Amino acid sequence: MITNNDILKKLRVALSLRNDDIIEILSLVNFEITKGALGDLFRNEDHPGYVEAGDQILRNFLNGLIIYKRGNLPDPKTGVKEKENDPQKKV
């Protein structure tokens, strides 16, 4: 059976992503992970530092990947895509 870790590994290779890219993708959906914790996900299953990736990590990665590749979703009211670094945006 294929695990979440295997899916992450295969996507990383298929899309030529570095660990920094994966951290950036996860940050797009406000999911923070350290380089060390990310490295634990990519270890071999028999390694003592191996950590199993949960559904939450995979779900957030896939949602972040959509934003990373396509951009932000348009605002449902205006239909205009929100810019990431819009100086006029009020928080």
The pLDDT of residue 68:
94
Residue 81 in tokens: 């895509």
User: Can you tell me which residue has the tokens 């951009």?
Assistant: 71
Q: Does residue 41 belong to any structural domain of this protein?
A: yes
User: Can you tell me which residue has the tokens 């994966």?
Assistant: 22
Q: In terms of C-beta density within 10 A (0-12 exposed, 13-18 middle, 19 or more buried), how is residue 19 classed?
A: middle
C-alpha closest to that of 59 among 23, 17, 29: 29
The pLDDT of residue 44:
93
Q: Does residue 76 belong to any structural domain of this protein?
A: no
Q: What is the pTM of this model?
A: 0.78
Question: Tens digit of pLDDT for each residue in 5-50?
Answer: 999 999 999 999 999 999 999 999 999 999 999 999 999 999 999 9
Number of CB atoms found within 10 A of residue 68's CB: 18
The count of domains in the chain is: 1
Q: Does residue 29 belong to any structural domain of this protein?
A: yes
pLDDT band at 81 (very low <50, low <70, confident <90, very high): low
Residue 87 in tokens: 């100086």
Q: Does residue 14 belong to any structural domain of this protein?
A: yes
